[in-house]
Structure 1
């Protein structure tokens, strides 16, 4: 059979030209689409980072969602250029996404909880919190977990789903805290003198705030002691140093000025046997 280029061109020329145009169009569409995806992701990241209540991790997460969402739409459009049924492809992609989502329910739940934590900010880096029965300083917050360092420097990783579903106590949530300390004195001691000693120690400590005014009153008559409660306001960072210093200073002052702190003891009474 004699090779006839003209006959081949007459028969397949239109298909070759259309195919070449489709390939060129698909390449151009893919390049432009990927550039648009990158540009939109950059815009989303920049705008999110400008907001004080949006963490950088969350900004990157939103930017990634935009980039991959636009990229997926561009890829589907490229398939459409070649005549591949887009509806069928979208259905397959949807089914695949559903299957992945069902198999990763826990991970996706932690991601959603991580987004909520970063948006609503119940705690932030450096805060001392109590969550899921664990207390410590927040060292890291990512999309999957919150990392806490306990006071004895143990590293605890809490899934965000557990953190957001439970009760969160943020000891650093406000700039000031109230420090409550109860001192018990003997019934034979002068409680007015004890109160005067406590007020003198409080007045000498500049870390204790004057407003609200410190509260020092007798609050309970116990089985073996008269209980005097001190309620002191201070900066959150001074809470523990003030509490420890108060315990030490009050003990020394009470010992020096003859105020006794009772402790549990047992009295044995002997009775003579009946005749």
Structure 2
């Protein structure tokens, strides 16, 4: 009886001795995993704080870099844990490389958008709150992330532009500079005094506090149209005042022209006929004469 008990105990000890290395390796792996997780999080937070502290770098870039650092460190920790259990890391790395290549080919459009997003955030052709046009699509920038740019039209319609298309297109940034030029073209009748009309427009521009004195307001005759003599006024103002000033000037020029007795003709055609005496008169004059 005692011999059987001793034999059974010896068997259990042998089996326990065989399991000890597995327990030890498991404990090592657990310690490495916990410590690695803590260190990866600490380094990631440190990188994020350092990047966010740099005023020239966008916060989105800081979050992206911190996330990349964290996942790279966790990947190293995972490989170390597998190595503790005796897993062949070389073959695993090769498999991961092949899987990464396959995923990259399948998601090349998405990865292209991410790369373009990183370039947009780095070089900043536009920023949040600016009014831009991307290949003919216009709106105010609401958000820029690594995959797309969100725009809002003046009537508050959301537009999502993939960063790959944005980075490869012509970008017009209307808010990049602090000042903008406002152009206003208006036509007057051929019988009106051009110099008087130009003076009225200049006085109107100089009286508005939003109009910059330098460069000074500019009015010229820019076209002799079919129905009117076209005058163009160019004035400079702060970019934030552009639309309000343009709308106000459009209304004011009509009011001031009415006060000055200047007319803004609508499209019209005047026909001329030659009488028996050889005198050319317009149809309207002939009609008035007949009345």
TM-score (norm 1): 0.91
1:60 is aligned to 63
Contact 1:53 1:118 in 2 (8 A): no
Q: How does 1:171-250 map to 2 (within 5 A)?
A: 171-250=174-253
The alpha carbon displacement at 1:8 in A equals 6.3
Contact 1:179 1:231 in 2 (8 A): yes
Q: Distance in 1 between matches of 2:70 and 2:206?
A: 60
Among 142, 165, 169, the residue aligned to 1:166: 169
1:151 is aligned to 154
Distance 1:269 1:220, change over 3 A: closer
* RMSD of aligned Cα (Å): 2.2
Q: How does 1:264-275 map to 2 (within 5 A)?
A: 264-269=267-272
1:70 is aligned to 73
Contact 1:144 1:159 in 2 (8 A): yes
Q: Distance in 2 between matches of 1:271 and 1:218?
A: 32
The alpha carbon displacement at 1:38 in A equals 0.4
2:125 is aligned to 122
The alpha carbon displacement at 1:94 in A equals 1.2
Contact 1:128 1:137 in 2 (8 A): yes
1:80 is aligned to 83
| Uncovered stretches (5+) of structure 2, i.e. residues with no partner | 277-291
Which piece of structure 1 moves more, 159-168 or 178-187? 178-187
The alpha carbon displacement at 1:12 in A equals 7.2
Q: Distance in 2 between matches of 1:162 and 1:9?
A: 68
- After superposition, the C-alpha distances for 1:4-40 in whole angstroms (9 at most, x for unaligned) are 5446646873x54433332222111111111111011
Contact 2:202 2:218 in 1 (8 A): no
Q: Distance in 2 between matches of 1:266 and 1:224?
A: 7
Among 142, 145, 157, the residue aligned to 1:139: 142
Q: Distance in 1 between matches of 2:272 and 2:210?
A: 49
1:38 is aligned to 41
TM-score (norm 2): 0.86
Q: Distance in 1 between matches of 2:160 and 2:135?
A: 11
Q: Distance in 1 between matches of 2:39 and 2:107?
A: 30
What SS does the corresponding residue of 2:219 show, helix, strand or coil? strand
Contact 1:214 1:231 in 2 (8 A): yes
Q: Distance in 1 between matches of 2:193 and 2:224?
A: 14
Q: Distance in 1 between matches of 2:48 and 2:120?
A: 18
- After superposition, the C-alpha distances for 1:178-211 in whole angstroms (9 at most, x for unaligned) are 1111222223222111111111101110001111
The alpha carbon displacement at 1:80 in A equals 0.7
Q: Distance in 1 between matches of 2:94 and 2:177?
A: 50
